[in-house]
């Protein structure tokens, strides 16, 4: 009696996959492409953001800061300074730039001569706060090697974004910390962010940048290379719509 043998399985294709199926890696790429179709962050224009105005010679300071509103309490000073190598290595020799992430040869300073504070607030219009937008403020902060004097303790420094003429605080857009953590003789970036939804009471209000230093000693900090970026935030339904669109596209390709 003859024995029946099962028919041989069809030979796999050269790729090792059955026809009519979309590989998982391809599906991931398709969905990733759909998911990643968002606009990149765009810089918000900010005048005198690296404090190169007015142009100063090495070692010269001025108590004015064009395009910024100066404030504070007690015995305080703020202004623009072109440091020497005593403050930051490589800062002299005419066009010698400050160490990154600072930009250019000059920076703003916020000093206190005792109990008080010194503040700088953007004076030029930064536009109205937009709906469904993420804002990121980044500031390079640092401390000179030659000031304050050795052993003098620093106090608190802050950066923030505010809304409206009253300077109302924005959720998540305020960062305050102990200035003793700032790198002496160098700069370091510090950033804050906040996002708006489709509606809210801050939408349409004027956006401002604010930073300051508060202390009980004769001390101060330096600020430079202020950057403000805005990027669109997808509506909550957008990821689900992208997933549906991606699934439909995968099904069409699988036919």
Backbone φ, ψ for residue 33 (5° rounding): -65, -40
CB 57 within 8 A of CB 96: no
Confidence band for 246, pLDDT divided at 50, 70 and 90: low
Confidence band for 57, pLDDT divided at 50, 70 and 90: very high
Q: Which residue has the tokens 């796999």?
A: 12
For residue 245, what pLDDT is reported?
Answer: 53
Which residues are bridge partners to 92 per DSSP? none
Number of domains in the chain: 1
Confidence band for 30, pLDDT divided at 50, 70 and 90: very low
Render the burial of 63-97: b for 16+ CB within 10 Å, e for the rest.
eebeebebebeeebbbbbbbbbbebbeebbeeebe
Asked whether residue 34 is domain-assigned, the answer is no
Asked whether the bond before 54 is cis by omega within 30 degrees of 0, the reply is: yes
Asked whether residue 24 is domain-assigned, the answer is no
- pLDDT tens for 170-227 read 989 999 999 999 989 999 999 999 999 999 999 999 999 999 999 999 999 999 999 9
Tell me the mean pLDDT in the region 31-44. Answer: 63
Distance CA 189, CA 182 (A): 10
- Is 9's pLDDT higher than 90? no
- Is 12's pLDDT higher than 50? no
Confidence band for 120, pLDDT divided at 50, 70 and 90: very high
Asked whether residue 239 is domain-assigned, the answer is no
At CA 251, angle to CA 248 and CA 255, rounded to 5? 145
| Cβ neighbour number for residue 154 with a 10 Å cutoff | 20
Better-scored residue on pLDDT, 242 or 104: 104
Confidence band for 27, pLDDT divided at 50, 70 and 90: very low
Asked whether residue 136 is domain-assigned, the answer is yes
- Is 167's pLDDT higher than 70? yes
For residue 40, what pLDDT is reported?
Answer: 83
- Is 134's pLDDT higher than 80? yes
Give the residue among 74, 83, 221, 65 at the shortest CA–CA distance from 140. Answer: 221
Structure-token pair, residue 186: 């160098």
Lowest mean pLDDT among 9-13, 61-65, 115-119, 124-128: 9-13
Task: Residue 202: give the domain boundaries.
Answer: 42-232
Asked whether residue 107 is domain-assigned, the answer is yes
Backbone φ, ψ for residue 245 (5° rounding): -65, -40
Distance CA 193, CA 204 (A): 18
Look at the alpha carbons of 179, 82, 54, 219 in this order and tell me if their dihedral is positive or negative: positive
Asked whether residue 221 is domain-assigned, the answer is yes
Asked whether residue 116 is domain-assigned, the answer is yes
**CATH classification of the domain holding 89:** 2.60.120.260
User: Rounded to a whole number, what is the distance in angstroms from the first to the last CA of the chain?
Assistant: 44
């Amino acid at each position: 009696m003859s024995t029946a043998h099962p028919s041989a399985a069809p030979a796999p294709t050269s790729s090792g996959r059955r026809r009519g199926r979309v590989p998982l890696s391809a599906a991931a790429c398709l969905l990733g492409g759909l998911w990643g179709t968002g606009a990149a962050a765009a810089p918000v224009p900010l005048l005198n953001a690296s404090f190169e105005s007015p142009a100063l010679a090495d070692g010269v300071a001025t108590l004015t800061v064009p395009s910024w509103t100066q404030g504070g309490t007690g015995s305080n000073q703020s202004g623009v300074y072109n440091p020497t190598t005593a403050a930051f290595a490589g800062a002299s020799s005419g066009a010698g730039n400050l160490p990154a992430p600072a930009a250019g040869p000059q920076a703003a300073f916020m000093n206190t001569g005792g109990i008080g504070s010194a503040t700088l607030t953007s004076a030029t219009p930064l536009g109205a706060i937009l709906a469904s937008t993420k804002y990121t403020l980044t500031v390079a902060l640092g401390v000179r090697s030659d000031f304050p004097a050795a052993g003098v303790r620093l106090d608190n420094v802050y950066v923030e974004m505010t809304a409206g003429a009253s300077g109302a605080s924005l959720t998540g857009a305020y960062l305050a910390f102990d200035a003793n953590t700032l790198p002496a003789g160098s700069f370091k970036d510090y950033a804050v962010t906040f996002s708006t939804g489709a509606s809210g009471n801050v939408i349409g209000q004027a956006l401002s940048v604010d930073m300051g230093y508060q202390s009980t000693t004769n001390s101060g900090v330096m600020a430079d290379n202020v950057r403000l970026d805005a990027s669109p935030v997808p509506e909550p339904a957008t990821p689900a719509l992208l997933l549906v669109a991606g699934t439909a596209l995968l099904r069409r390709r699988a036919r």
